Chains A and B, each alone.
Chain A
Amino acid sequence: MKFTIGWLKDHLETKLNDSKIIDRLTNIGLEVESFNSQPSELDQFLIAKIVSSEKHPNADRLKVCEVDIGKNENVKVVCGAPNAKENLITIYAPPGAVIPKNQMKLSVSKIRGVTSYGMLCSEAELKLSNESNGITELSTNKYKSKIGKNYFSNKAAKVVDLSITPNRADCLGVKGIARDLAAAGSGKLRKKNLVRIKFYGSQNLRVKITKEKNQGCSIFGSLLIKDVKNQESPKWLKDKLLAIGQKPISAIVDITNYVMLDLNRPLHAYDADKIDTEIIVRNSKKGESFEALDNKKYVLDENMCVITDKSGILGLGGIIGGTRSATEFKTKNILLESAYFYPKSIRTTSRSLGIDTDAKHRFERGIDPNSIEEGLFVAAELIQKICGGTISKKNIETVERFKQHKISFPITKFQSITGLKASEKVVTKILDSLGFKVKKKKNILDLIVPSWRPDIEQEIDIVEEIARLIGYDKIATELPKKVRIKPTLNKQQRLFHFLQRSVASKGYLETVTWSFTDSKINNLFKEEKKEIEIVNPISSDLNVLRSSIFSNLIFYLKKNLERDFKDISMFEIGPIFTGSKPGEQEIVLGALKCGLASRLNWIEKERKLDVFDAKRDLIQTLCEIGLDQNIIKVDNKTPNYYHPGKSGVIYQDSLNKVPIAFFGEIHPNILQKAELKTDALVIFEIFLDRIKFQKEKLKDIKSKFQYSDFQKSERDFAFVIDKNFKVQELIKIISEVDKDLIKDIRVFDLYEGENIDKDKKSVALNVTIQSSQKSLTDDDLNKLNKLIISNVENKTGAKLRS
């Protein structure tokens, strides 16, 4: 909503200066977006200095000038003026500027083979004087520090631009803003004299609002103005509109606009001679069409509120008029419309047709239904004053009367919500100046809400009115108490934060990517999950919700590889989506690591990353969050984006069938399809929501510290075993031979190849044995040795390697 302070003062008597008014507007909830002059075409003309001037290579009388216009680089201008000399300060017009004298618009052009960017202007061209012999010469002393600045100062009145919240329909007119300021104690609302019009005859064009379901119009007021002479608006009116950036069209159109901006009362003027017989306000039928004032043809759906005559549609009520009945300079007779349309109907229609107009913006938020007559009379009087003519009596058709809204307001409510005490006197004064009718009954105020405030419905709305006009700054600042009744984070949330930092501490950079992704990449990681499409994506390559963290991670990995990074470790923790219903999502941590370990390192041997790099980071992380490495189970059933032979799944224990994590090398197909060029790429992912924790806290489950000082012994074994037999099982079998004595089992060698059958492998293990009761004798150890060997051989078919 734009207006000038001068316009505001048409309605507000105030002693405040501009900046006080601006502050006050913001403080009462009418946010000032800007307070500037409307940009002018003359803003383009800059003070400039000729840095050098040389003869044009192909023309004797022309010069090529290097001109300093205050920017980083000088511009080159071809100029024919004899006085275009080095160091002259003059006025420069850039391409796009319009020369005041001949209204010529400049463009970049070639003059005899030399490109000229803009022009240096004479005083005559700028209408400064008649001097046309040579370019303007500005005094060096006065202007040398102003190179690059505007030559013409912008004298236009400064414009206030307010950002009006959707609840404040009443402030879409200057009068409403003045009323609010007056209520805040910033002045007095001027009372306007009632218009005095001599009416000639009645409005004899029949108007009918059809009674039907979904009728969007409840009141249609109109009058006729006959024998007008439409013309350009007078200067005061043009200036008012121009100042706020509106283009004057003709007196009749300008006046309807002016009344809308001034009183928030949209009007429409028809050329009465173009109306066929009568006006019927009705619902549209599907497929009806008309050409609107924006020169577009609209094909309508059913149930849109249309203003029609016998021949068809004249316009969309409250949204836009039609070209068929538009006023022109030659228009003689006018039908002036002032109506009330329901916000919901306006909104539905304008949304489905995609039309936004000033009238629509206002009706959608709620226009004062009691302003119909005022709007007609104010506009008619102005039209008569400017264009002459005679004004008929008004005709107001009503199908539904406006009902006053009443609220009983307990004064104590204000203090209970704001913590601020306000006297009945202050409250009453504020409400009164906002236009409420106030009646006091004990501690209750009986209020009648002004018709221009459709947003005020209940007690809390009254609290807000009083609070914003007294000022939020009057409300105390009560410092919070440091009391906690509930833990800040629950277990799941703590796990989230812990995992995030646990993985980052292993050298991974955390990233955050969109929750949506490109379906083409997502398909590589989606498996059997449903594709969740976004109906209105921001772009076609962000068209589905991600089914995996890796959809985006791989995409951005590629970008970073293209930036010439070779060894990259990064992860994201966030939601993936399994369905389109709320809650069909789960939190996943996905990490990737690519390239070489110890690249270009003088002390360590360079090698490709492999599945065991991913496994190390994953298992360490799982241990850190509190899982027992001896209880989790590893298997090799992984999703199809993992390398089928070099990847694993983790279950929380051997009974659990729900995977809590995957790790491995990525499937080579994915590298190929995503065109990733890297030495190696390993990934892992953890499904947080699937990890189950004991209910007890650490303090309840921490076991007693037990240790043994008796001598430890170590024994080495090498078993030749089936190639497919999992070492995890082998270790389990050994550890179960004697859970008390066997303290640790380490795999220190794996061998396949010569001297071993093709379908076998040799696994070498080191077993640590220690008793907590005594020093073990050779006998004890030998017994255990034999037991280990026999158990392994019997249960696995392995043979001790000799």
Chain B
Amino acid sequence: MNYLYAFLSGGAICLLAQMLVDKTKLTPAKILVLYVCTGVFLGACGVYAPFVRFAGAGATVPLTGFGYTLASGVKEAVEKQGLMGCLTGGLTASSAGISAAVIFAALWALLFKSRDKNI
């Protein structure tokens, strides 16, 4: 059942983004920014945590889940360190994803050459 919920929730989030692409003038980059900020907002409201319990990876894998990670990291850090936590919490919580993206991107850039897009 978990798998069905993950599939449906993740699919629905992507479907909404595709509708925004097709029906509005928003570019993908703007939609990604919108999604992260929405994730932070929903995380802050306390809506996203139950959604993660319900949908699992269907909630954490889309970019809104990245926003939720930022929000929950900040919340935890503020509770522990006070005001300083505002600055440290978000990036600490999301550091694994960001560092992995940077390291692997550099690795793949070393290994692969740019290819002709038409092939």
Our verdict on whether A and B bind, yes or no, reads: no
Q: Which residues of B contact A (CB under 8 A)?
A: none
Q: Which residues of A contact B (CB under 8 A)?
A: none
